[in-house]
Amino acid sequence: MNLLTELVAFVVAIGVLVVVHEYGHYSVARLCGVKVLRFSIGFGRPLLQWVSKKSGTEWTIAALPLGGYVKMLDERESPDQIPASDLPHAFNRQSVGKRIAIVAAGPIANFVLAIVLFAVVYASGVTEQKAIVAAPPAQSAAARAGFQGGETILSVSDANGSRTEPVRSWSDLRWKLLATAFDQGHVVLAARDGEGTYDFPLDLSQLTGKDLDDDFMAKLGLEAGGNTLKVAAVEAGSAAQHAGLQAGDQLRAVDGRTVDSASTFIAYVKAHAGKPVRLTVARGDAGQNTQQTLTLTVTPTLQRDAQSGEEVGRIGAALAAQAPSVDVRYGPIESVRLGAYRTWDIAVYSLRMFGRMITGEASLKNLSGPVTIADYAGKSARLGPSAFLSFLALVSISLGVLNLLPIPVLDGGHLLYYAVEAVTGKAVSDRWQLVLQRAGLACIVALSAIALFNDLARLIHF
């Protein structure tokens, strides 16, 4: 069933993105007076075809749904077969400005789609985790900034305070810090605790390109807090059972320190193998006034971690975390504005990440292919409409950015030709275009091969 969901979600996602991208080319071409011969969704053998009586365009749905194209009248392809009356409507006869507009319309359509999708998500409302900070590790950037745990972050400002953006959820905070981390500067986080609102200067300069590939929030010492941790199960004969820990117990503190993060608690236990640890737990039903607070002493046993191979402490208990959430909803105008900002930020981040991959500052493992896209399409579809629309917006932005890269065979390569023509007054020669097309095709094949390898590596975990 999951495989079917992934396939359906993948086909829907790719179909929508391709139709929007190609319709951008098609609509601007028609607006510029260019005759469109074929509008194809997919490649290969046609499954469905019809011809528009009004425009004469042949509309096609083909067997291989991984892309599409718009074929325009161009006398360079068949100069002897074009009637003289149609020559003014040939793509190559248009001014360089019109050709730039037609080629750029596809990626622009993808960006517009992303703005609309994000706006729909923001306007309909989403439930996200609150931006509450867990107690940070000692000597981390968050600890040096003054965070102790339990603070709710309200806004992010640059170092000089010239730009302040509100923080509405944990994912919102993560994205704002990610966008800032590329500059490797400082930010000021305004946060509220039980006593008031304070500023916390956070140093991002320690982050490297590899950190941005991984969990950079953990590197900073920032982890979502405010969670309610309950014991989901206790292994028979484990240290947790010997200490008297029971399923349903709510963890309040460890060695006197408040605990509201599962990963922080697990890391603490791992680091205290063979050492007694005091757990403060709440047992019973608070609603029925039967809840009592207990202090249990458990000694983690030394075991080998299956992933890292290191000797760590374990108590033999499974945890369930209930995160505090917030409903984020915006008005129509604000939703469009935020959708535009989010689209811009993601597009800029994608370009920066691609640049880092070229220079070797970021791993090529960040490239993903159709298998990963299908996987995330299925997962987001199962999470609900908002998650799927957000995923669709992200992929639409990626498609737009990819097509604007100055690689021949992509829209960006053609735009580069036309930019040269606009500056020099001369079109790039057919010979040079052929050479560059081959080089561009080689680049695309190489990128596709790397993306497919990454897909397979994630799939079979090698």
H or E segment and range at residue 44:
strand 36-51
| Cβ atoms 413, 407 nearer than 8 A | yes
> Using CA atoms, how far apart are residues 169 and 338, in angstroms rounded to an integer?
14
> Angle, to 10 degrees, between the axis of helix 385-404 and the axis of helix 96-124?
160
| Cβ atoms 386, 124 nearer than 8 A | yes
Hey, what amino acid is at 207?
L
> Using CA atoms, how far apart are residues 101 and 98, in angstroms rounded to an integer?
5
Q: Which residues of 350-361 are buried (b: 16+ CB within 10 A; e: fewer)?
A: bebbbebbeeee
- Phi/psi of residue 231, each to 5°? -80, 115
Q: Which DSSP letter does residue 35 get?
A: P
Active-site residue (options: 6, 22, 151, 223)? 22
> Which of 23, 29, 96 shows the shortest CA–CA distance to 416?
96
| Cβ atoms 88, 33 nearer than 8 A | yes
Burial category of 265 from C-beta neighbours within 10 Å (exposed 0-12, middle 13-18, buried 19 and up):
buried
In degrees, to the nearest 5, what angle opens at C-alpha 140 toward C-alphas 137 and 142?
A: 95
Q: What six digits make up the tokens of 99?
A: 């050709």
Helix extents (H) in 77-95:
none
DSSP string of 375-441?
HHHHHHHHH-HHHHHHHHHHHHHHHHHHHHSS-TTSHHHHHHHHHHHHHHSSPPPHHHHHHHHHHHH
H or E segment and range at residue 120:
helix 96-124
22 given a catalytic annotation: yes
> Which of 411, 393, 381 shows the shortest CA–CA distance to 345?
393
- Catalytic residue list: 22
